[in-house]
Structure 1
Amino acid sequence: MISRYAVGDRVCSYYAQSYNNYPIVDGDHCARIPDNVSFSLGASLPIVWATTYHSLVNVARLKAGESILIHAAAGAVGQAAVILAQHLGAVVYATCGSKEKRALLESIGVPRTHIFTSRSPAFGPALRASTGNKGVNVILNSLAGELFRESLDCLASFGRFVEIGKKDFLDNSLMPTKFLLQNITFACVDLVQMMAEDKKLVYRLLNDVVELIAGGKLKNQVTIQPYKLGEIEAAFRLISSGRHMGKALPEPHALPTLQPEATYILVGGFGGLGIRLIRWLGARGARTIVALSRSGQKSPAANACVAEMRSMGVKVLAKSCDISSKEAVKAVVRDLQVVDGLGPIRGVINAAMALEDALFDQMTHQQWEASLAPKVAGTRNLHEALPSDIDFFVVLSSIAGISGHTAQVNYTAACTFQDAFMHYRRNQGQSGFAIDVGVVGDAGFVSETPAVLSIMKRQGFSPISVVELLATLDYALTDSGSQCQATIGLVPEAGANITDWLEQRRIAHLVQDSENFGGAGISDGSGNDAEHFDQIRSAKTAEEAVNAVGRAVLSELSKLTVTPVDGILLHRTLDSYGVDSLVAVELRNWIVVMLAADVSLLLIRESRSIEELIHLVVGRSKLVPAKLQEAVSKLA
């Protein structure tokens, strides 16, 4: 494998267990992504294009002049099959399920008269009429039930039927066999089994696909619907609804690219976290980094960091500077340009902090001022001394400013100032972003002081990693939205101690495993959910209880079915909005956990309307005051 791949290669890979943070794959399951192929397109090669290529070329042996019926042709595999069949010179017939999908297929060259519905068996007679009752030479099938059986009658003599769906086969359903008498070849393609049992085949297949795509001979590409990683649930909902076209692709946030000729300032010295930030700046393209601290470059760790970065072509200058002094900051900024001859300053990260812990009534004025100095005076001084048009101005604040801390009133005040000051800079049309950092468990002050880390855990804080912090920095430097503040490490892990600050109303909707929320917290991050639950608990009448539960149920149904809340009518059934057994299970789990209502799956499926379901939930929810539940039953 060493001869095949090198560090830094862009690769795509098969992987049957994709939902892991760190997948480990077999080298035979990988292929290099050519320079002229994007990562987005590369992500579709192992599954979408490998399935298509193997099905049409290796199994069906589709040739120019032959005809093919491609079911569900607006999906990712369906589109790839259409494109590949056209490339091979075949006559394409296709099925799909909506006007939008029909329009898409027409846009990639499928004639309107060759497109049929995939929602009913009507495609069979229509196809046979279109082919003079001869049928097609190849069928790529993913339909089940009666639609599968109808497809069997659409093959011409010596035809090849390639099955890529599994439903009927997993159910061991009966299949008519008379059609096989016409010298029909029936085959099933399962990439998962191929990966497990024939590595040489899948390796050769993936490289054939890469070569085909990189050659640039295909006239079209599979439609890609990009989603931000934060929208992953919406992507899954879209797929489960059957409304997606092409491949729904979660795309990682773009990484920032810093200017090699510019200068970037890091305030905070050469501690464990500071060194990681310097390496991050270098990895993002910075070639001149100025590290400001009170001590400058005095420690062995600082010397080692400067030497390490120099070997990578990055110049790191350590400057001694007390940023709480306006004169000192102005002087060092002036010297960077006049004396050191550095390029323009294009960004700054203020990671400086000073802890002077004491209860407020025992805190001295000196302790108060010392803790505020680097974050309040230091941030203002940097704001005044640096160019107003720098690309980024990031402050590493703390979640202490949100949670509060009885022994760090000075520090929390300093952090809230930084948060507010970034909003001020944004309002002035300048760059500004505050990251409220949690307990960093693998670098910095807390990680180097085990006793402090233990105390923080007991207080309900869950440690985060430096990697998570750096990813948030990537977001801060590339996000073009209006947000200028992010919190990382505020939400505790499941099972963490629930302390007083976690029960504050402004935070409680984020907390997991809180008894105040029916045994669990709000896991989807929606601020409206907490409001719904508050309204349910505070209901004074049966009507208020029904309305509050109704709003909560409709909000969840909207997410599960990818339907606007305004489009969900109470008198209609769940089935009418596409709530199948799997979605019903999700809905039931949500009702049990979030509304504390023990409603069986059978009762949910048998509800004659959404309104009936809401009344059922109200009557069983522990969030609804008991005195109202009897009154609610009379409303039903």
Structure 2
Amino acid sequence: MMRATDSEGIGVLVAISLDTIRTRLSCVADGGHVVSLGGRDKSVAVEIMSRNLAFSSIDILHLKPKVLTQPAERMMQLLAEDKIKLPQPLLGFKVSDINGGLGRAIITWMADRGAKHLLVLSRSGTSSQAATQLVVELKSRGVNIVAPRCDVSIQEDVTVMLQEYFRTMPPIKGCINAAMVLQDAVFQSNMNFQQWNLTMRFKVNTSKNLHELIPKDLDFFILFSSVAGVVGQMASAHYAGGCAYQDTLAKYRRALGQNALSLDIGWMSNIGIIAEKEAY
């Protein structure tokens, strides 16, 4: 929380337990407001007063039980009528090289926000020490993460992997495709077919295979594209073409009534291939 607020702290802390107040009080900015839904605690009173914090203790369950019982009864009625659905643990179907910084950042971000089942497909598997450490860390946090070696640009490989997946994992509810391979070369002079094909495969084929093979009723289908597909990029005509395909595929899916979003990201100097490769 301090990192997200540039060390200034949050303005309001709503805590459902006294333990939350004890462990998170340092993240509240001076002059902020602490709202306790779990009673009062004299042990933090001194710090609250010394930092000019406002404190409110709310115990609705005992003071006004009808305030809670009426919404609860309404919620049960809506569930019975199938007008609302209980939230499911987020299943992220994440396609990216877990050995790269961007892939690891996305996976960590998803786990921090409640993802409990993650299928991470990469043609190299967990070949780096950082990737292996991330898998171990997330498993210790109760995340069911599976990171097999699978080339998502090959339809047969994805089909086999999904068949194995569905035997032990819950339904897929989301997909993120961050696959990419850069093979910089000038199209008119020194780009060979292998360079063209490899870069295009990991943009076009991966996106097409995921669109065709995974369930259609996803909560999200996100393609990590690039601004290169909009404005072009020196020595990256094949990469720009692949990104343009992803943008168009997202539009096509939405025309079919399916969720889709293509993110045209720019150069990221602090994470990913730009930060990790000296050539850039």
**How would you bin the TM-score normalised by the shorter chain?**
0.7 to 0.9
Counting only pairs closer than 5 Å after superposition, residues 317-466 of structure 1 correspond to structure 2 as 317-338=146-167, 341-362=168-189, 363-452=191-280
Q: Residues 279-322 of structure 1, C-alpha deviation per residue, up to 9 Å, x if partnerless? A: 11111211111111111122211210111001111121111111
Decide whether the 8 Å contact of 1:360 with 1:406 is kept in 2. no
Q: Residues 179-198 of structure 1, C-alpha deviation per residue, up to 9 Å, x if partnerless? A: xxxxxxxxxxxxxxxxxxxx
CA distance in 2, matches of 1:9, 1:285: 23
Query: Secondary structure of the equivalent of 1:344?
Result: coil
Query: Secondary structure of the equivalent of 1:373?
Result: helix
> What runs of 5+ residues in structure 1 fail to find an aligned partner?
13-24, 37-198, 218-256, 453-636
- In structure 2, what is the equivalent of residue 300 of structure 1? 129
Decide whether the 8 Å contact of 2:126 with 2:132 is kept in 1. yes
Counting only pairs closer than 5 Å after superposition, residues 551-566 of structure 1 correspond to structure 2 as none
Counting only pairs closer than 5 Å after superposition, residues 49-64 of structure 1 correspond to structure 2 as none
Decide whether the 8 Å contact of 1:263 with 1:342 is kept in 2. no
Q: Residues 374-405 of structure 1, C-alpha deviation per residue, up to 9 Å, x if partnerless? A: 11111010111100111111010011112211
Decide whether the 8 Å contact of 1:258 with 1:285 is kept in 2. no
CA distance in 2, matches of 1:358, 1:425: 31
Match for 2:118 among 289, 305, 310?
A: 289
Q: Identity of aligned pairs, percent?
A: 35
Q: Residues 244-286 of structure 1, C-alpha deviation per residue, up to 9 Å, x if partnerless? A: xxxxxxxxxxxxx9732x5321111221111111111111211
The CA deviation at 1:451 is 4.6
The CA deviation at 1:371 is 0.7
Q: Residues 337-364 of structure 1, C-alpha deviation per residue, up to 9 Å, x if partnerless? A: 13xx111111111000011111111222
Count how many residue pairs are aligned between Structure 1 and Structure 2: 227
The CA deviation at 1:327 is 1.0
Q: What's the C-alpha RMSD, in Å, of the aligned pairs?
A: 2.7
| Change beyond 3 A, Cα 1:448–1:414 | same
Query: Secondary structure of the equivalent of 2:103?
Result: helix
When normalised by structure 1's length, the TM-score is 0.34
| Change beyond 3 A, Cα 1:325–1:365 | same
Q: Give 1:448's aligned amino acid.
A: E
Q: Residues 480-505 of structure 1, C-alpha deviation per residue, up to 9 Å, x if partnerless? A: xxxxxxxxxxxxxxxxxxxxxxxxxx
Decide whether the 8 Å contact of 2:37 with 2:59 is kept in 1. no
Counting only pairs closer than 5 Å after superposition, residues 46-195 of structure 1 correspond to structure 2 as none
Decide whether the 8 Å contact of 1:289 with 1:315 is kept in 2. yes
CA distance in 1, matches of 2:250, 2:25: 39
- In structure 2, what is the equivalent of residue 203 of structure 1? 52
Decide whether the 8 Å contact of 2:223 with 2:246 is kept in 1. yes
Q: Give 1:415's aligned amino acid.
A: C
Q: Residues 83-139 of structure 1, C-alpha deviation per residue, up to 9 Å, x if partnerless? A: xxxxxxxxxxxxxxxxxxxxxxxxxxxxxxxxxxxxxxxxxxxxxxxxxxxxxxxxx
CA distance in 2, matches of 1:301, 1:430: 35
Q: For the pair shown, which has the larger CA radius of gyration, 1 or 2? A: 1
Q: Which has the higher helix share?
A: 1
| Change beyond 3 A, Cα 1:368–1:33 | same
When normalised by structure 2's length, the TM-score is 0.73
| Change beyond 3 A, Cα 1:11–1:442 | closer
Decide whether the 8 Å contact of 1:350 with 1:379 is kept in 2. yes
The answer to whether structure 1 residue 266 and structure 2 residue 115 are counterparts is no
Query: Secondary structure of the equivalent of 1:321?
Result: coil
Query: Secondary structure of the equivalent of 2:274?
Result: coil
> What runs of 5+ residues in structure 2 fail to find an aligned partner?
1-18, 39-47, 64-85
